[in-house]
Amino acid sequence: MRKLWNSGVNLFSMLTAPSSRAPSNPPTGNGHDFEFTGIDGAPLKLSAWRGRPLLIVNTASLCGFTKQYGDLQELWRRYESAGLIVIAVPSNDFGEQEPDADGEIRAFCQGVFGVTFPIASKQPVIGPDAHPFYKWAADAVGPGGAPTWNFHKYLVGRDGQLLRSFSTRLSPTSTEIISWIEKAIEQPTPAAA
């Protein structure tokens, strides 16, 4: 049986977390300062999408919320031409619900959900070993800003600033998330540095 908690984070935390939060601390740096490794092993530099909004989501293949991959693909299909970049970050941090290797994760996402948006290699998203992007975003949101379960979402604006944090239980195609994505898309594109 899979664990329902890990690293002191549990299902109760996920269920009681606010559905969405604005950053409360001025972040040091910018979302474009970070880089993941793609699931194919190639660099996945967020700076490559400077001037485009980013929706970055920690994911897991064996979670009750895994169907959100389909909703994320719908967002990608609907808003990619308007500039939105969706990035999945598989993680085994919650309930050990992403035990597979990168190749198996990619095959699952593409085969079951038809995922065509970028997928990072598997990363820790909480705790001392969390990927630097996740440490930055959690710090910007403030207390309780780290993901509490799989499919937590961070929206980064065209300028690289964190706009919003969305809990697991908020579907990617919910009215609230769509509203924030459309606001991010409407932001003026910042001048090149």
- Just list the catalytic residues: 63
For residue 136 the two structure tokens come to 């930055």
Q: How many CA atoms lie within 13 A of 113 on its CB side?
A: 25
**What are the beta bridge partners of residue 182?**
none
Three-class DSSP labels, 121-146 = CCCCCCCCCCCHHHHHHHHHHCCCCC
Strands of 20-21's sheet in order across: 20-21, 162-166, 153-156, 54-59, 85-90
In whole angstroms, give the CA distance from residue 61 to residue 64: 9
Identify the sign of the CA torsion 23, 27, 33, 38. Answer: negative
